[in-house]
Amino acid sequence: MTEEKEICYPYAYGRLNASLDMLASNLEMACIREDVEVDDKVFELLKKMVKERQTKAVDESYDKH
């Protein structure tokens, strides 16, 4: 017998949301470790884009009824 599992969407959203923040920070740190020169403006833009998408996801998640 196979147990059917359901996705816990609030938990999944929280993990994904946190992962996006970490992605931007981890990329910046990886570039520093690997001595890859990237203008700081690129990381600022990436973080801004992540924040915009997080905000949009929250706004779109509200029940529109």
pLDDT digits (tens, 9 = 90+) for 26-48: 999 999 999 999 999 999 999 99
Question: What is the rounded distance in angstroms from the CA atom of residue 47 to the CA atom of residue 24?
Answer: 6
Stated pTM of the model: 0.72
Q: Identify the pLDDT of residue 26.
A: 95
